[in-house]
Amino acid sequence: MSESVLTEVDLASEAIAFFHAEGFEMFNEVSIGDGRKADIVGTRGNELLECETKLGFGLEVMEQAEKWRPYANAVWIAIPWAKETSARRLGYRICERHLKVGVLEIGGDRPVVRAQAPLLSRMDDSLLHALREEHKTFARAGSPAGGEFTAAKTTFRNVAAYVKANPLCTMEEVVASIGHHYRVHSTAVAQLTKHAKRGEIPDVYVGWKQRLTSEPPPDGRRRAE
């Protein structure tokens, strides 16, 4: 494969434009509860599309894309254009026939579909439920990690707001009262408690008997012994 002059942001922007022209409403950098992040997501009616962008075409991006199949009705890989070889054609066939993943090449006169993504039955709605309006504008797809808007950040803000209004509450009380991105309440309680103890939820502290407060404990510790 020849060296690409595209950046991953350029690649993602071209892919977004392609799918938008096909009638999809596009979202960038969408995370689900297990920490996995989709580069590009599109919706068109009841159809949900996921696309992984990568500057190289190989097993790594194929594996990444295949893992999204239960969450979307169509899964794609967007990669830069490169000289066609027998090995590259084999990659197209593997994606289309075996992995059920489409391949979109970008960098020539126009994007080219090298493998068609079949319509799949979506088995899990976690990705759909993670979509927010902020995903349309918060970060450019393909931008460096850390700047993306995530469902977790919304949950953290909800936790902080509840704790501020209800000092000395428990995480069980918080989870029962707020919207969160976890599928099961018990998972939400366990994971959010861990995040709070690690100092990853701004303005939320774990004090005596696991009670939550927006004020740091006098000794500066986040969890009681």
What's residue 221's pLDDT? 52
- In a domain, residue 16? The reply is yes
Domain co-membership, 72 together with 132 = yes
DSSP 98-118: II--EEEEESSSS-EEEEPPP
pLDDT the model gives residue 150 = 55
**Res 208: pLDDT:** 86
One domain for residues 17 and 114 = yes
DSSP-H helix ranges across the chain:
8-21, 59-66, 86-93, 126-130, 151-165, 171-177, 185-197
pLDDT value for 74: 97
Q: Which CATH number covers residue 32?
A: 3.40.1350
Do residue 50 and residue 132 come from a single domain?
yes
Predicted confidence at residue 2, as pLDDT, reads 40
Counting the structural domains of the chain, the total is: 2
**Residue 168, domain member (yes or no):** yes
13 and 103 assigned to the same domain: yes
- Give the model's pLDDT for residue 200: 87
Residue 194, in any domain of the structure: yes
Structural domain for 70, as ranges: 8-136
Is 29 part of a structural domain of the chain?
yes
Q: Answer for the pair 48, 42: CB distance below 8 angstroms, yes or no.
A: yes
Consecutive sets of 10 residues in the chain, 225 residues long: mean pLDDT of each?
63 90 91 84 96 94 95 96 93 96 89 95 92 66 48 82 94 91 81 90 91 79 45
Domain boundary among 110, 136, 162: 136
d(Cα 166, Cα 180) in Å, to the nearest integer? 17
